Structure 1
Amino acid sequence: MKKELNISLTPKQASDEQFYRPVIAQKLGVDETELTAIVVRRKSIDARQRQIRINMGVAVYIGQQPEVESTSYHYQNVEHKRPVGIVGAGPAGLFAALRLIELGVKPILFERGKNVSDRKRDIALIHREHLINPDSNYGFGEGGAGTFSDGKLYTRSKKRGNVKKILEVLVQFGADPEILIDAHPHVGTDKLPQVIRGIREQILASGGEIHFNSRVTELMIKAGECKGLTLSDGSKFEFEALILATGHSARDIYEMLYRQGVNLEAKTFAMGVRVEHPQALIDSIQYHQAQRGPFLPAATYSFVEQVNDRGVYSFCMCPGGFIVPAATAPGEMVVNGMSASRRNSPFANSGLVVEVRPEDLREFQQHGVFAGLEFQRQIEKLCFMINGNTQLAPAQRLTDFVAGKKSADLPESSYRPGLVTAALHDKLPKRIASRLRGGIQQIDKKTKGFLSNEAIAVGVESRTSSPLRIPRNDHDLQHIRIKGLYPCGEGAGYAGGIASSAIDGERCAEAVAQNIR
């Protein structure tokens, strides 16, 4: 007999089967010895009350063994099949490639950066020598921005595609199976490179191609159709279809498209700072106790406020994480956050950002559709100059940021290049700084202790999403004017993270396979 059951447990009870087995037996009114197997389906933390509960969905087997559940996706050999080009080897591009292989189409990927192993060395140079390789950094390279700048898989885009399949594929290539049951799954920056490497090896083993250090400089567009691409070394490749999955920081791609007359449109994005607290403080606030103990993970949070008719919200929260330098070109200061799989850093960080709409940027009107991009650039350059033209990040105690005064000193931080004290409240645009200050005060009213002298604001968090969209048709996902061009993922304005980008990659692959038949 099999029974599906929802149970509410203490953190200790949920930590191991030896603790939740007797609870389940009692709930079912049977002896423990009658339970032949318990399979956990779902797990989430409910910290709304002072007594923390873990909600679990389980399949309980009595007198029988569970059915074998092994989801594995088959990738055929497509070496001699029709080729389709993919620009960008982030989650959108990689999952588009895997889906094309499933559908009998040969993917040929072009990635401006390096593979994950070589990319690590360039990232180390940013920390050690403050040197930015514009083609290999936290934003560019195999796996995309998420590989080395977090690995969270939570998405609300469930109506757009199969989230479960994305998680199953990641597990097939080495991710922890726990991501299949966690309410907020997370792979970790220490585990993602291995997963990405496995996906690459599968693409190559199936007859696909991946070209690293291959920056696209032009699309081959003739009579309203995309016929291929040209690389920076002059190499040309022709295709029936091209999936453009370049990520939200590939500004040169937007500029290339504009020069070639490909339609772009401005969209809402967000900008702000990365806020860092001691993780122990966040734990005490969220779990309502002095210490979280051995059975609870590092606490997380999510905030959404309205200040002067604009959203102020937390973004990419990294419990037990690190702040990292995320610039993609020399002369920029950009920060992001990451967490390893164990989330065991003594710090918690999150983007805290303000909604920026196209109509908010009237002083940048001369830049047309690039107004938001130019706004980003100017703030990133300003923050770079504040810190002495290095990757030292300008920072301010959160209490001083709200009070409007420069900090005399700064607490310890996870940001390894180092911090410099700066009056971010004054340096950031007023429309951003004033709303951030108001938002922080509103958050602190609801979550006492958030506005702490031990917390810092670090600038600037400017790459939450692209300020541009590459418009496409809803019915076939091709560009509204260029046939054979499939804008895809975050850079095209249709996703917002690893999981949603992967989903969009699969959707574009399916559209391509359907349209080239």
Structure 2
Amino acid sequence: MVKDIQLRISIEEETIADILLIKAAQALSINRKNITGIKVLRKSIDARKPTIIFNYKIAVYIKEPLPKVSEYQFDYKDVSNSKSIHIIGFGPAGMYAALRCIELGFKPIVLERGKNVKDRRRDLKAINRDHFVNEDSNYCFGEGGAGTYSDGKLYTRSLKRGDVRRIFENLVFHGATDQILVDAHPHIGTNKLPKVVQNVRETILNFGGEIHFETRVVDFVIRNKKIQSIQFQNGKEMTVKNVILATGHSARDIFYLLHKKQIALEAKSFAMGVRVEHPQQIIDSIQYHCPGERHELLPPASYSLVQQVNNRGVYSFCMCPGGFIVPAATDNGEVVVNGMSPSKRNNLFANSGIVVEINVDVDLQKYDHFGVLKGLEYQKDLEKLAFTAGGRSQAAPAQRLTDFVEGKLSGDLNPSSYQPGLNSAPLHSLLPKLIGSRLRKGFEVFGQKMKGYYTSEANIIGVESRTSSPVCIPRNEQLAHPQVSNLFPCGEGGGYAGGIVSAAMDGERCAEAASQNS
């Protein structure tokens, strides 16, 4: 017999050996000797009150052995000589599309503009140290996409789009810790993701797939409403049958290419703002109600904030406890910031995007002459502004949080995790009013919700602009583009995902759709 039960465990109880066994026996009114195993299904922390509680959902096995086999078995086949499906982009959507193709008996041929994870590290170092951005190999482009070097947070609200547990178990199959199957807000960590991504690559190659790095797509040859072939930057061309387009939200050249070829696109609402960075100890003290150091059993605290300001959402995005801020530009002449955390989340700082919802139909009328690309052009203009305000390098414009709200230039800035450096800038006047004024009000409200959050010890750093794609590539019920029957827009770049998990699920769906089109 197996029974699922909920348990609430205090911090003091958490230190007791076999506490789950003890509590489970009490809850079920049975002898402990009859419990043959306990499987933790979910673990979360309830820190709403000073007495902090660990919430457990567990499966209790009564006179029955604990199963050792994973819930999922991944049936990878030798597809060396099978029909091919071409996948452009090797981020989460592209990786999972390729893996699903192999399960379905199709050969994935992956075309990735960037480098593999090992070689990619040198280009990331060049951004941080030399302020040089390789437009094909950076924090957004390369093996594993933006997810590889930007944290690996796996929390998603997209529960209706696919099987989240399957996505997690596949990550575990490829080397991720099985703790992600339990945590309410699972996270792999920037330091551990590259190995997982490398293992995915090896699976694809071992079962007959192909992966071509440093292969940027520059054109599509389209006849009779189908892509006949793909052309590359090196002048080579490849004949294709079905194409999954999983290039991510920052592949602007792909949006320009599709627009030039009169393939329908749609402007899409998105969000932009800044990164705010606090000492982690401040966030811990607020969230855990502790004036000093947090308890050793508690992880670095996170937060989630949202507020409506003048009919637009202002909210936290990609919160990174114990993390650091990184330069996420994809070209020189722009500054973009993002956040990430190592697996232990043991850095001194906590950072989060604080962004403002932008309605492309209402807020960007001055950009209407750009048509469906107006959001993209607006995004670019703010990134160029940040580049200039930061000193025309990858140093980022920054301001103390309180100075930003009060409209004062900061005489000096707090220490920061951002390696290229910060330059004091009047972001309160540089940011467009539709963003800046809402951020200022939002920070005031957040300070009321989290006492101590509004502080001069925090910096705001600009700009956080790549929250999602400002362009949507439409698709029909078969997940193909309505004008190009063998093109399957996928993941964040298509406008159909908002993170690693949702992108992975969409990648699987597009692989299934492309296989049915073969």
- State the TM bucket, normalised to the shorter chain: over 0.9
- Aligned partner (choices 400, 403, 411) of residue 400 of structure 1: 403
Deviations 1:388-410 (A, max 9, x none): 21111111110111101011111
Please state how far the C-alpha of 1:443 moved relative to its aligned partner.
1.3
The 3-state SS of whatever aligns with 2:149 is: helix
Structure 2 SS opposite 1:164:
helix
What is the TM-score of this pair, normalised by structure 1? Answer: 0.97
Question: CA 1:510–1:17 in structure 2 vs 1: closer, same or farther (change >3 Å)?
Answer: farther
Please name the residue that 2:285 is paired with.
284
Match of 1:377 in 2: 380
Q: What is the deviation of 1:494?
A: 0.4
Counterpart secondary structure, 1:43: strand
CA RMSD, Structure 1 to Structure 2 (Å): 1.3
Write the deviation string for residues 70-112 of structure 1: whole angstroms up to 9, x where unpaired.
2331210001111111000000001000001100111100000
1:415 aligned onto 2:415: no
Residue of structure 2 equivalent to 1:496: 498
Correspondence list, 1:112-127, <5 A: 112-127=113-128
In structure 2, the residue matched to 1:327 is 329
Match of 1:368 in 2: 371
2:343 aligned partner: 341
2:26 aligned partner: 26
Correspondence for 2:428 among 416, 422, 425: 425
How far 1:36 sits from its partner (Å)?
2.9
Secondary structure (helix, strand or coil) at the match of 2:127 reads helix
- Contact 1:228–1:242 at 8 Å: present in 2 too? no
Determine which of 372, 377, 390 is the counterpart of 1:387. Answer: 390
In the aligned structure 2, how far is the partner of 1:470 from the partner of 1:167? 27
Aligned residues of 1:227 and 1:484 also touching (Cα < 8 A):
no
Change (3 A) 1:417 1:21: same
Other structure's SS at 1:324 match? strand
**Match of 2:454, as an amino acid?**
L
Letter of the 2:230 counterpart: L
Residue type of the alignment partner of 1:353: V
The answer to whether the Cα contact below 8 Å between 1:12 and 1:19 also exists between their aligned partners in 2 is: no
Letter in 2 for 1:29: S
Q: Does 1:187 align with 2:188?
A: yes
- 1-side partners of 2:381 and 2:307: how far apart? 26
Alignment partner, residue 487 of structure 1: 489
Alpha-carbon distance in structure 1 between the residues aligned to 2:16 and 2:212: 45
Equivalence for 2:106: 105
Within 5 A, what are the aligned runs for 1:126-141? Answer: 126-141=127-142
Q: Is the 8 Å Cα contact of residues 391 and 423 (structure 2) preserved in structure 1?
A: no
In the alignment, what sits opposite 1:316?
318
Are residues 221 and 293 of structure 1, via their aligned partners in 2, closer, same or farther at CA, if it must alter by over 3 Å?
same
1:219 CA drift (Å): 1.0
| Consecutive unaligned residues in structure 1, runs of 5 or more | none
Residues 3-22 of structure 1: pairs in structure 2 closer than 5 A: 3-14=3-14, 18-22=18-22
**Equivalents in 2 of 1:189, 1:170: separation in Å?**
14
Please state how far the C-alpha of 1:30 moved relative to its aligned partner.
3.7
Partner residue of 2:466?
A: 463
What SS class does the counterpart of residue 7 from structure 1 fall into? strand
* 1:225, distance to aligned residue in structure 2 (A): 1.2
In the alignment, what sits opposite 2:255? 254
What letter matches 1:269 in structure 2?
A: F
Partners of 2:393 and 2:17 lie apart in 1 by 51
Aligned to 1:437: 440
What is the aligned partner in structure 1 of residue 479 from structure 2?
A: 477
Which string of whole-angstrom CA distances, capped at 9 and with x for unpartnered residues, describes residues 244-290 of structure 1?
A: 00000000010011111111110101110001111111111111122
Q: 1:29 offset after TM fit, Å?
A: 3.1
Once structures 1 and 2 are overlaid, which stretch shifts more, 31-40 or 282-291? 31-40
Corresponding residue number in structure 2 for 1:452 = 455
Q: Which residue of 1 aligns with 2:172?
A: 171
CA distance in 2, matches of 1:466, 1:184: 24
Q: Which residue of 2 aligns with 1:216?
A: 217
Superposed CA offset, 1:160-212 (max 9, x none): 11111100000000000010111111111111100000000000011110000
Q: Which residue of 1 aligns with 2:163?
A: 162
Determine the structure 1 residue equivalent to 2:358. Answer: 356
Q: Is residue 12–residue 295 contact of structure 1 (8 Å, CA) maintained in 2? A: no
In structure 1, how many angstroms separate the alpha carbons of the residues matched to 2:2 and 2:489?
A: 46
Q: 2:233 corresponds to which residue? A: 232
Structure 1 window deviating more from structure 2 (58-67 vs 73-82): it is: 58-67
187-196 or 43-52, which deviates more: 43-52
How far is the alpha carbon of 1:127 from its aligned partner? Answer: 1.0
Partners in 2 of 1:453 and 1:69 — Cα distance?
52
Of stretches 4-13 and 119-128 in structure 1, the one that deviates more from structure 2 is 4-13
Stretches of structure 2 lacking an aligned partner (at least 5 in a row): none
Q: Distance in 2 between matches of 1:351 and 1:402?
A: 16
1:315-345 deviation line (CA, Å, top 9, x unaligned): 0000110000000101110000001111111
Does the residue aligned with 1:221 lie in a helix, a strand or coil?
strand
Residue-pair matches, total: 515
- Cα displacement (A) at 1:242: 0.3
Report deviation, 1:46: 1.3
Give the aligned partner of residue 517 of structure 2.
Answer: 515
- The 3 A distance-change label for structure 1 pair 48 and 410 is same
Distance 1:494 1:16, change over 3 A: farther
- Alpha-carbon distance between aligned partners in 2 of 1:430 and 1:482, rounded to the nearest angstrom: 40
Q: Partner residue of 2:269?
A: 268
Q: Which position in structure 2 is the counterpart of 1:150?
A: 151
| Stretch of structure 1 that moved more, 340-349 or 19-28 | 19-28
Q: Distance in 2 between matches of 1:15 and 1:268?
A: 47
- Contact persistence 2:113–2:215 (CA under 8 A): yes
Of stretches 86-95 and 439-448 in structure 1, the one that deviates more from structure 2 is 439-448
CA pair 511-123 structure 1, distance change in 2 beyond 3 A: same
TM-score by length of 2: 0.97
Distance of aligned partners of 1:480 and 1:36 in 2 relative to their CA distance in 1, 3 Å threshold: same
Shift of 1:31: 4.2
Q: Do 1:75 and 1:102's aligned partners in 2 also have CA atoms closer than 8 Å?
A: yes
Aligned 8 A contact 1:335 1:460 in 2: yes
**Equivalent position SS for 1:167:** helix
Alpha-carbon distance in structure 2 between the residues aligned to 1:476 and 1:111: 25
Task: State yes or no: 1:95 paired with 2:72.
Answer: no
Contact 1:228 1:241 in 2 (8 A): no
Task: State the distance in 1 between where 2:2 and 2:356 align.
Answer: 49
Tell me if structure 2 keeps the 8 A contact 1:396–1:406.
yes
**2: CA distance, partners of 1:179 / 1:468:** 31
1:399 touches 1:452 (CA, 8 Å); kept in 2? yes
Describe the SS at the equivalent of 1:109.
strand
Residue type at the aligned position of 1:306: Q
Residues 456-492 of structure 1: CA deviation (Å, up to 9, x unaligned):
100000000111000101x200001111000000011
